[in-house]
Amino acid sequence: MDIIPHHLVPYFVILVLVILFYLLYKNIVLPVKGFTSTALIFLLTGVIDTNEMLAGFSNSSILTIIILILIAAGLNENYRIDRIFNKLLPVKKGYKYFLGAMMFISGILSSIANNTAVTALMTPYIYNWGITHKISPSKLLIPLSFSTILGGMITIIGTSTTLILNGFIISYGDPEGINIYHLFIIGLSVTLAGLGFMLISAKKLLPDNPDLIERFRKSSKEYLTEVHLKTGATIIGQTIKEAGLRSLKGLFLVEIIRETGKITPVKPEDIIQEGDLLIFAGNTPDIIDLIHPNSGLEVVSAPGFQEKQEVTEVVIHPGSGLAGKTIKQSDFRNRYDAAVIAVHRNGHKLSGKIGEVVINAGDTLLLFSGKEFKERVDIYKDLLIVSKPTTLALPQKNYKIISLTLLAAFLFTSHLFNLLTAVLILLIIMVLYNLVTIKTIKRELDLNMVAILVLALAIGKAIINSGAGELIAEGIIFLLEPLGPWAILIGILLFTTFLTSFVTNVAAVSVAFPVAYELGQAGIMDPGALYLAIAFAASAAFLTPISYQTNMMVYGPGGYKFNDFFKIGFPLTLIYLTVVYFYLILLY
């Protein structure tokens, strides 16, 4: 802290954090780069030391998150999850029954498994169920995301938010961490209240967006693909009308790009020349029909793929390393063994060459995919496949015995040991049964996520070391103390909810926890109430699509706009925070 005058250090830390949140909100930097840069700044200026920066690597909560992800991956790889969903969900009883059962099951699953993994697992299944039963996926996918967020708050292992917060609490002197019993009571109550609200209001408040293909038929200028003429194509020298490119079903010739310049709009009498690049817009089936082997046309970015015509629709995952790069810069074909033949972006009209389109999180891409595509998607974790449900093979061994062994092991060890030891034993058993392999670990261990979790703890330490947390706490006390301690609690709830709505839940916890810690140390109110307030407010990620990763995962497939989340999320947030506040008063 010698570099910066002592009295200015808390203001310096607050300034750096404000800049970090602004950069994250504007998607100017990736979260891992933002957190890394911020932690390094605090390290170089003496706000934290090396041990404090790296302490997260030995944090039990972070290790628990990593192990749980690997366990979930092993289960996903070895069991036919789609068959389980078909048995659990009332697939033939209509929207209302399906919605209620889907939210209940996803909420329960999220209470015992990471909610991000549950959303990733269920999204393709829910999306395809909606299309099959002529119900817009937009009526289903926000409830899926929100129900996993709600269910994740029932137990400490349901979401990384509570695990990270628990790590903070233990790191700063309270070995018992979060009160699990109180967490369960409040979590179950807000889950039931939230699911009931969505069951009643989802149909009215959510948009009725048609699925991707139907939407392209109605708005053909949204989905672009580019083709060029094969050598000796018969349509060279013909007019657009003579070549049959004027009145294509479901397709529109947007522009022609040639060496002498760009032709737009394209007229019926324009003559096709050798070397022309044709930019079309339209829907999936008609794009494929357009480039059949006898058409004389070829997708520019996909030579060699046309024969197979393995078509896959994917969404760019939030936090993807592809965001901000053009398709050409990303080296997409070599990276994924797939060629981008079309791009869709909600609410935006795209034009020009496909390779020059800058990729955004939430973009939907239409691909010709090769043999190694799915394996590379698993490795890089930048894409979410939405074109069809994931098919997982049953283990060749006696999976019933394996399942019972795993269940018995977890129930037994969870009563004898702490959570980290219990899940570690469970992981070892799965490795012995070959349900988790080295390949699984390489594919599923997201180093970016691990880095963010570790660095979030370091940033939280910087807030406390510098006195920034105490400064913010003093501001909240100054403004709300005349109204009593429960007004301060409302301030903490609203402050943390605001943070989590526009940055990440990890960032919200890393800022709000030091504030709550200082308030607790000042004896304003019971620290347990403040910690639970942060836990639930940091998971109140219902107002924006960027507030939580599960929201971004359904954003593209549902065809949502930014304010679609706010329309249903705002009343849900009011209900959620009211229930939390009521129980905190009752319990404390």
3-state secondary structure of 573: helix
Q: Which helix (H) or strand (E) holds 59?
A: none
- Reported pTM: 0.57
Which region among 137-151, 276-290, 488-502 has the lowest average model confidence (pLDDT)? 276-290
- Burial classification of residue 432, based on how many CB atoms lie within 10 Å of its CB (0-12 exposed, 13-18 middle, 19 or more buried): exposed
Q: What is the pLDDT of residues 72-91, one digit of tens each?
A: 677 666 765 556 666 666 66
> Hunting for tokens 């504007």 — which residue is that?
26
**What is the band of 295 on the pLDDT scale with cuts at 50, 70, 90?**
low
366 forms beta bridges with 313, 342
Q: What is the pLDDT of residues 451-479, one digit of tens each?
A: 877 887 788 778 778 888 778 767 777 88
**What is the band of 149 on the pLDDT scale with cuts at 50, 70, 90?**
very high
3-state secondary structure of 35: helix
CB count within 10 Å of CB 438 equals 8
**Mean pLDDT calculated for residue range 8-23:** 86
Q: Is pLDDT above 50 for 190?
A: yes
Three-class DSSP labels, 471-504: HHHHHHHHHHHHHCHHHHHHHHHHHHHHHHHHCC
Q: Is pLDDT above 90 for 571?
A: yes
253 forms beta bridges with 280
Q: What is the pLDDT of residues 230-240, one digit of tens each?
A: 777 778 888 88
| Model pLDDT, residue 289 | 59
3-state secondary structure of 554: helix
| Model pLDDT, residue 7 | 81
Question: Which segment, 166-170, 222-226, 571-575, is predicted with the most confidence on average?
Answer: 571-575
| Model pLDDT, residue 389 | 36
**Mean pLDDT calculated for residue range 234-255:** 76
342 forms beta bridges with 366
Give the whole-angstrom CA distance, residue 556 versus residue 554.
6
Q: Which helix (H) or strand (E) holds 431?
A: helix 419-432
Contact between residue 161 and residue 504 where contact means Cβ atoms under 8 Å apart: no
> Hunting for tokens 């269920």 — which residue is that?
122
More confident residue, 512 or 391: 512
More confident residue, 79 or 345: 345
Q: Which helix (H) or strand (E) holds 271?
A: none
**Mean pLDDT calculated for residue range 538-546:** 84
Contact between residue 435 and residue 77 where contact means Cβ atoms under 8 Å apart: yes
